Structure 1
Amino acid sequence: MTSLLRLALTFVLLLSAVSPAFAQSQAQTQTLAQTAAQISQAEGEVRSVDRALDGGVDVDEHDDLRAKALAAQQAVRASASNLEQQLAIMDARIEGLGPVAKGTTEAPEILRERQRLAQNRAAIDAAIKRGRLVDVEAQQLIDEIDRSRAEQLNETLSTRAHSPLMPDFWSAVVSALPRDVRRVDRFVSQGAAQLFGRWQEGVPWPMVLGLLAAAVLLFPARIKLRELGQRYLIGTAPGHRIRRSGFALWRLLVGTLMPTLAAVALVQGLRWSQMLPARWSGLLDGLVLASGFAAFTVAVAGAVLMRTQPTWRVAPISDETASRLRPLAWPLAIIAFLSILVDSFNHAVGASQAAWTAAEVIEALLHLLWIGTFLRVLGRLRANRAEREEAEGAPVSGTGLGALVLLAWLLVGAALVGLAIGYVALSLFVARLIIWIVLTGSALYLLMNGADDVATTVFSRNSRLGNTLVRSVGLRPSLVDQFGVLLSFVLRLVLVLVALGLALSPFGGGGGLTSLFGRLGTLSQGIAVGGIEISPGAIVRSILVLAIGLGVVRAFMSWLDNRYLPATDLDGSGRNSVSLVARYVGVALAIIWALASLGIGIERIALLLSALSVGIGFGLQAITQNFVSGLILLAERPIKIGDWIRVGTDEGDVKRISVRSTEITLPDHSTLIVPNSELITKSVLNKTLASPLGRFQIQFSVPLESDAERVIAIVTELFAQEAAVLDDPASKVFVDAITDGRILFNCFAHVASPRDAYGARSNVLRKLLARFRSEDIDIGTVPQRLELAPAEFDRIAAAPDPDGSKPG
């Protein structure tokens, strides 16, 4: 019975030990199967993109194929990253088993575990290599699509047609006119026939509701939303800057979104009612795009200029500038609306190449005419401002804007020349690019100001959130302000990157915004630098680790300075030395910890330091010398904080000792910063190193007939009366010499500190002069005697007196 119980217990223990391993193995197998399926799916997507490119695609399909390849690449990279983590875990387990010793036979369980781990590792490694291959193929397809787009764009821009100034151009238009008229008539007839047919079947309520919704969105809803936004900002937004920027952005959003939604409602009503044939779908999409772009144009101009509300204006422009430029927004919106709509109509109708080229000529002329008008108005405004500044004697500003205006004029001139000689597509491209950059730049200006205002206002020491962080969390007010500035910088940088992508997106510039985010996605996966994978996530993790490490160092230093060091027998200088060394060691450990979280181990740091040793030996020799000297000062302490020292001709109190320099406070309250190497390699007088006491000296002489004992008694009495003079060590008065009929005295007295010597000496001298004067004792110094050689005496005696008389 006992043996049966033991057998059952052993079986239970084996099950409890094997079941977790079995479950873990099953989970790993399932995860590997899922990851392999994801890689296979991504591989299939890449193959489909490759086949589509082999069959030839047009410009519109390039964006879809590129997005498909990019999504597959990101999916396979995420799968490969997960597999690499599993591979690292597998390697750690295999390493934990250790190598097989020679001449030994492993247990069957360990042998099976080793074989299973080896098989799983081989499968994971194969999947990783497969994923990397798919990643490379996807990147090659993306690059091929980008090159194809660029080549098509270059081909389009370099295509030269007949000059619009020549009869051949218009003859081609006239020749293709009958066919184009028939295409337009067929297109319009099909649309009109289906429209009337649907109308006769009954009232198309979706179209009617779409029309009503468009009217509501375009007029009352847009106006009411703008008023509500302004009222809300006035009542709740903190600070004038946020209200101003918030209203500009709200006006831009409402002004762009409402007309676009109105166009979408109208188009969807027509589609749901099936009022128009399928051929009209492209034209309806063009109507939505044209409405959105025209609304964006008017909204940007209104938000930047604020002609009727100058107090809400974000841009630093005058009322005259706003009044002159605001009317130009509507012509531009109409030109852009008609240009997009005409292009969509020509594409839907299937217009001839001659008709396309003629439409592009008209569009280019209208765009260039508007740009020229805008630049002319801007030039007049700048000229008027320059005249006012010159009349007021102020310096003329705006040189950067003048350079941009000159560049725009040069581009307009080049576009006109290109249009005249037949480069119609290039001319239209330049005109549209100038306008799009102006609109994008204006919107970017509003967004950057809004981001800066929100970040620096919300995260400010005077804001409600800032006060909460300072009082509850204990942050310094300056840290709150610094975080606001850094957040503003990050937001503005992101906006600039997005604007760069948007500036290229309408013209096929390498994928535009899709390409930009694709490259940012590639960057987020990490890049290899010297065998180290550096990614934004790793950088953020390293920064967080560094912040935590520095926080721990700060807390430890607070405990060390306020709790532990005051309980020791160290003086102030000793505490400073211990605190300073501990601080530098803690900061160094925090930095090493942060580098380790980034993937840079101790061995790499040692290798880097060894590689920099030559540069440190030559280029940073002085800094290294001062650093080592500072460590010597902190260790040996020949100079301590509070010591009274003399360096060269300057002397003062040691205020601070760091690892690079020492700060000395001079008597005139200025600070002398001395490199530590100067204090180690040169002579320094430390008046308080051996003893804190100070001493001053008084020398004087009295006539020979004076009573020396009386003089000694007077000086001793005056020393005793001075409060700063110490009794121990006692003061001394010596007869130093008897020369030239005078007795020379040399007196010494001690004070508690060298800093008290000068004042005590002055007090004793004042009392000594008064006492000797009251007792008629002549005090002075040793008289000087001038002796002349005989020849020199005869020459001076023979010289005439200053009044011209002869010597006597």
Structure 2
Amino acid sequence: MPLVVRLTRTVRHLALILWLVAAFALAGPALAQGDPVAAATDRIAQAELDVRGVDRALDASVDDDDRRNLRGKAQGAQTATTQAVADLTEQLALVNARIAGLGTVTPGEVEAPELRAQRRTLTNMRTTLDAAIKRGRLAGVEAGQLVDEIDRSQAEQFSQKLSSKVPSPLSPTFWTIVLDQTPRDLRRVWLFLEQGGTQLQRQWRGGIPWHAMLGFALAIVLIGPVRLKAHRLMQRRLIAEAPPSRVRRSANSLWRVAVGTLCPLAGAFLFVQGLRWSGLLPQRWSGFLDGFVFATGVAGFTAAVTGAVLMRSQPSWRITPFDDETANRLRPLSWVLTVLTFTTTMIGSFEGAIGSSRSAIIATQAIEALIHLALIVATLVVLGRLRAARAAREQTTSAGISAGLSIAILLAWIAVGVAAVALVIGYIWFAWFVALMIGWTVLLGSALYLMLVATDDIATTVFVRDSRIGVTLTRALGIRGSMVDQFGLVLSGVVRLTLIILALGLLLRPFGASSDPGAVFDQLGQFAEGVKVGGVWISPGAILRGLLMLFIGLAIVRAFMRWLDQRYLPATDLDGSGRNSVSLVARYIGVALAVIWGLASLGIGVERIALLLSALSVGIGFGLQAITQNFVSGLILLAERPIKIGDLVRVGTDEGDVKRISVRSTEIELADHSTLIVPNSELITKSVLNKTLSGPLGRIQIQFSVPIESDAALVRSIVLDCFAQQEAVLAEPAPSAFIDSIIDGRILFNCFAHVASPRAAYGARSAVLLQLLPTLRERGITIGTVPQRLELVNPLSAPAPDEREMK
């Protein structure tokens, strides 16, 4: 019993200690935040120290890693100052509100000492806060300038590498320089290997390195059985639980990429950690071992992505539009790419670890570029043969190959040719960059394609009106089913756009360039400065950049319009005319933004564009008045929609269906299937009869007369029965028959009925008459048209006497 009591007391003491520690941990931030002004001021002071430290560090020579760390530090200081300024601005507003609450001192009155002291204190606080805010803004501006300076220096260094030239590898000078440095490089390699071997022998004699052996065994298990078992397990789960749609294949592809990347990466990490824990290798090998882990992860990613794209052994799980022959021919080349990726990364890590000479690095890059170019040429040749074989089978030239793939193949051949020429004339780094860039672009593009397809499949499957989530949202929140479909499409579009932007940022990341997507094209090269015209620098590089930006902008607009017309608008509740209006307005806005983007890349700002438009307004007012009038009228038609696509309209004596509305004209299909093109200004400024504007119904009108001896009620019943027996006649609004009048011994009937469309009125009226005429004839009722009376308004009078005399 005493033991139990002691244990109970001990537990209570431990609980009390833990409670105090937790209370202190929670109270610490609260105490730290008790004075927000002091905390914000401390953050500004620390940011100023960081900015000065980064500024001093940039005075010396820094490598890529140091530059990346300095940029992160400067960006962190900028973020801290922004938040601190926001906090101080809030406090300053509170102080100003308190000063305003005290009011102004009335002249001639003596203010109370307490109020005077409080006013003085608040005034001092306002001065202090204002000074701190100005310090913070200044520090933020300096931090932003340092970030821009680092980005510019990184872009300049990248451009210098691209334009660096050495003697041609075909010249004896190149190899003479390499051979001169070879003895020193061999001594470095020997020293590196000797240090590693000596450390390995020393540690091995001390006992069996169980850590290294265990790490190696775990690496083999992860790369082999665990990876394969994870693939099979995921496929069984998807077959059993996932809906029978593309989501299965998309989820399986992403899972294969994740497992194929993480298992080799984790295995290499465990193996390296085992070596380190065993102490088998010296500290100098640390960077090389880290490079081995990274190279293994990149190689695993390459193998996983290409395997998920091709799916040679499981074609039913393939989500790419490749046939089995293409997958079988390309899979061996993908393994070669995996080996090259691993080897290239390991060579770079080894050269960095031993400190290779610049000549050895350049020679290695030349060999790597040559091998990569050979692999790219082999791949293009295989694709060309597959294309030729497919064209021969289909008796066509290029029907089986999309235009996008053909353009990509052509650009690849051009890039290979440029890289080969650059390699021959001595631009080694440029050729190496282009060769590796092609492989990295294919790899990144393949991964991006898998993620885009998977994102679209998952978003449009989960957020759909028939799914479990869609039914829940519809029933619980009262959301319409179309809104759920639209949300899924918008979510898919936003996520895919984000993935594309991230992919652009990662495109040049492995080669030491900036990962900012907006700076990608600025880092591709430095062109001639050109000439300055009206405050704008015009150069070949700026023109090419502007054309490239315009092309990319138009391509983005085209892809967005395809998504808008084929995916989003069909999921809305808009009719065909509404979709056309939204599509036209979005297309013109997108084209305008693409043009502005292209002009902005030339250095032509929006204010210059506005000035140009104002100068053109005179010419538009005189020479292009009709075109401008039609354009504005088209915008009015699209906005107010007095005429929509599908409406039955009459313009003058022509009547037909509206088939297309553009910003210049409207196309109307007439009854004889000809097309009437009407300028939009005609539809706005003149009278137009729209038979389907208020509703799509059409009306039938039948007028006839019967003798006054006929049973009017029977005639009315017969007419209504004839209307009811016609399927084209609508029950609502109900048909009606009226006695219009009684003239000259005949009863005049005026009968009405409605059909689904004005286009069906003519045929339905004929069908009713074909049934009405024999029915009335069988009942002995004669039918006639509405009688017409001829009255002589000015009848001829008898001739006067003098006229008779004249005759």
Indicate whether 1:482 and 2:482 are aligned: no
Aligned to 2:225: 220
Which residue, out of 401, 404, 408, partners 2:405? Answer: 401
Counting only pairs closer than 5 Å after superposition, residues 402-421 of structure 1 correspond to structure 2 as 402-421=406-425
Deviation at 1:202, TM superposition (A): 2.3
Aligned to 1:177: 182
- Cα distance change of structure 1 residues 381 and 30 upon mapping to structure 2, 3 Å threshold: same
CA contact (8 A) 1:719 1:764 kept: no
CA contact (8 A) 1:77 1:135 kept: yes
Alpha-carbon separation, structure 2, partners of 1:367 and 1:140: 39
CA contact (8 A) 2:703 2:749 kept: no
Q: TM-score, normalised by structure 2?
A: 0.64
Alpha-carbon separation, structure 1, partners of 2:98 and 2:629: 44
2:429 alignment partner AA: A
Aligned to 1:81: 86
Q: What secondary structure, in the 3-state scheme, does the structure 2 residue paired with 1:55 have? A: coil
CA contact (8 A) 1:42 1:75 kept: yes
Aligned to 1:423: 427
Aligned to 1:510: 514
- Cα distance change of structure 1 residues 100 and 349 upon mapping to structure 2, 3 Å threshold: same
Indicate whether 1:715 and 2:708 are aligned: yes
Q: Which has the larger displacement, 471-480 or 424-433?
A: 471-480
Alpha-carbon separation, structure 2, partners of 1:394 and 1:153: 39
Which residue, out of 122, 125, 142, partners 2:127? Answer: 122
CA contact (8 A) 1:260 1:295 kept: yes
- Cα distance change of structure 1 residues 716 and 98 upon mapping to structure 2, 3 Å threshold: farther
Deviation at 1:445, TM superposition (A): 0.5
CA contact (8 A) 2:260 2:303 kept: yes
Which residue, out of 428, 431, 451, partners 1:447? Answer: 451
Counting only pairs closer than 5 Å after superposition, residues 16-31 of structure 1 correspond to structure 2 as 30-31=35-36
Alpha-carbon separation, structure 1, partners of 2:34 and 2:189: 63
Alpha-carbon separation, structure 1, partners of 2:251 and 2:433: 34
Aligned to 1:378: 383
Counting only pairs closer than 5 Å after superposition, residues 531-542 of structure 1 correspond to structure 2 as none
Deviation at 1:115, TM superposition (A): 4.1
Structure 2: segments with no counterpart, 5+ residues: 1-30, 521-620, 622-627, 643-649, 656-679, 692-700, 720-737, 756-764, 793-807
Alpha-carbon separation, structure 1, partners of 2:640 and 2:239: 61
Alpha-carbon separation, structure 1, partners of 2:368 and 2:380: 18
2:73 alignment partner AA: K
Which residue, out of 483, 494, 498, partners 1:494? Answer: 498
Indicate whether 1:277 and 2:282 are aligned: yes
Counting only pairs closer than 5 Å after superposition, residues 690-701 of structure 1 correspond to structure 2 as none
Indicate whether 1:468 and 2:468 are aligned: no
CA contact (8 A) 1:629 1:680 kept: no
2:388 alignment partner AA: A
- Cα distance change of structure 1 residues 733 and 306 upon mapping to structure 2, 3 Å threshold: closer
Number of positions where the alignment pairs a residue of Structure 1 with one of Structure 2: 589
Alpha-carbon separation, structure 2, partners of 1:221 and 1:95: 71
Which residue, out of 240, 244, 252, partners 1:235? Answer: 240
- Cα distance change of structure 1 residues 381 and 83 upon mapping to structure 2, 3 Å threshold: farther
Superimposed CA distance per residue, residues 556-603 of structure 1 (whole angstroms, 9 cap, x where no aligned partner): xxxxxxxxxxxxxxxxxxxxxxxxxxxxxxxxxxxxxxxxxxxxxxxx
Aligned to 1:266: 271
Deviation at 1:34, TM superposition (A): 0.8
Identity of aligned residues (%): 45
Superimposed CA distance per residue, residues 304-337 of structure 1 (whole angstroms, 9 cap, x where no aligned partner): 0000000000101100000000011221121221
Alpha-carbon separation, structure 2, partners of 1:778 and 1:126: 97
- Cα distance change of structure 1 residues 483 and 765 upon mapping to structure 2, 3 Å threshold: same
Counting only pairs closer than 5 Å after superposition, residues 666-677 of structure 1 correspond to structure 2 as none
Aligned to 1:369: 374
Counting only pairs closer than 5 Å after superposition, residues 277-426 of structure 1 correspond to structure 2 as 277-390=282-395, 395-426=399-430
Alpha-carbon separation, structure 1, partners of 2:500 and 2:138: 34
Deviation at 1:289, TM superposition (A): 1.6
Indicate whether 1:255 and 2:260 are aligned: yes
CA contact (8 A) 1:239 1:457 kept: no
Deviation at 1:767, TM superposition (A): 7.1
Deviation at 1:749, TM superposition (A): 6.5
Alpha-carbon separation, structure 2, partners of 1:110 and 1:285: 67
Deviation at 1:254, TM superposition (A): 0.8
Superimposed CA distance per residue, residues 623-670 of structure 1 (whole angstroms, 9 cap, x where no aligned partner): 88999999xxxxxxxxxxxxxxx999999xxxxxxxxxxxxxxxxxxx
Aligned to 1:635: none
Indicate whether 1:457 and 2:479 are aligned: no
Deviation at 1:456, TM superposition (A): 0.7
- Cα distance change of structure 1 residues 782 and 767 upon mapping to structure 2, 3 Å threshold: farther
Superimposed CA distance per residue, residues 504-533 of structure 1 (whole angstroms, 9 cap, x where no aligned partner): 2111222458989xxxxxxxxxxxxxxxxx
Alpha-carbon separation, structure 1, partners of 2:772 and 2:414: 84
CA contact (8 A) 2:474 2:481 kept: yes
Deviation at 1:424, TM superposition (A): 0.9
CA contact (8 A) 1:208 1:269 kept: yes
Superimposed CA distance per residue, residues 111-157 of structure 1 (whole angstroms, 9 cap, x where no aligned partner): 55544444333333322222221111111111111111122222222
2:437 alignment partner AA: L
Deviation at 1:395, TM superposition (A): 3.7
2:435 alignment partner AA: A
Alpha-carbon separation, structure 1, partners of 2:713 and 2:324: 83
Deviation at 1:96, TM superposition (A): 5.0
CA contact (8 A) 2:739 2:750 kept: no
Alpha-carbon separation, structure 2, partners of 1:494 and 1:628: 35
Alpha-carbon separation, structure 1, partners of 2:418 and 2:639: 62
Indicate whether 1:48 and 2:41 are aligned: no
Alpha-carbon separation, structure 2, partners of 1:625 and 1:367: 57
Alpha-carbon separation, structure 2, partners of 1:188 and 1:477: 68
Aligned to 2:249: 244
Alpha-carbon separation, structure 1, partners of 2:322 and 2:358: 45
Alpha-carbon separation, structure 2, partners of 1:722 and 1:433: 87
Which residue, out of 439, 445, 450, partners 1:435? Answer: 439
CA contact (8 A) 2:54 2:73 kept: yes
Q: What secondary structure, in the 3-state scheme, does the structure 2 residue paired with 1:301 have? A: helix
2:430 alignment partner AA: L
Which residue, out of 140, 149, 152, partners 1:147? Answer: 152
Deviation at 1:621, TM superposition (A): 8.2
- Cα distance change of structure 1 residues 746 and 294 upon mapping to structure 2, 3 Å threshold: same
Alpha-carbon separation, structure 2, partners of 1:260 and 1:625: 61
Alpha-carbon separation, structure 1, partners of 2:639 and 2:342: 69
Q: What secondary structure, in the 3-state scheme, does the structure 2 residue paired with 1:492 have? A: helix
Alpha-carbon separation, structure 1, partners of 2:282 and 2:690: 99
Q: Which has the larger displacement, 159-168 or 305-314?
A: 159-168
Alpha-carbon separation, structure 2, partners of 1:52 and 1:486: 46
Aligned to 2:71: 66
Counting only pairs closer than 5 Å after superposition, residues 598-637 of structure 1 correspond to structure 2 as none
Q: What secondary structure, in the 3-state scheme, does the structure 1 residue paired with 2:395 have? A: helix
Superimposed CA distance per residue, residues 193-216 of structure 1 (whole angstroms, 9 cap, x where no aligned partner): 111111112223322222222222
CA contact (8 A) 2:181 2:359 kept: yes
Deviation at 1:472, TM superposition (A): 2.7
Superimposed CA distance per residue, residues 412-434 of structure 1 (whole angstroms, 9 cap, x where no aligned partner): 11111111111111110111111
Q: Which has the larger displacement, 75-84 or 307-316?
A: 75-84
Alpha-carbon separation, structure 1, partners of 2:786 and 2:50: 110
- Cα distance change of structure 1 residues 732 and 377 upon mapping to structure 2, 3 Å threshold: closer
Which residue, out of 187, 197, 204, partners 2:202? Answer: 197
CA contact (8 A) 1:328 1:374 kept: yes
Q: Which has the larger displacement, 495-504 or 321-330?
A: 495-504
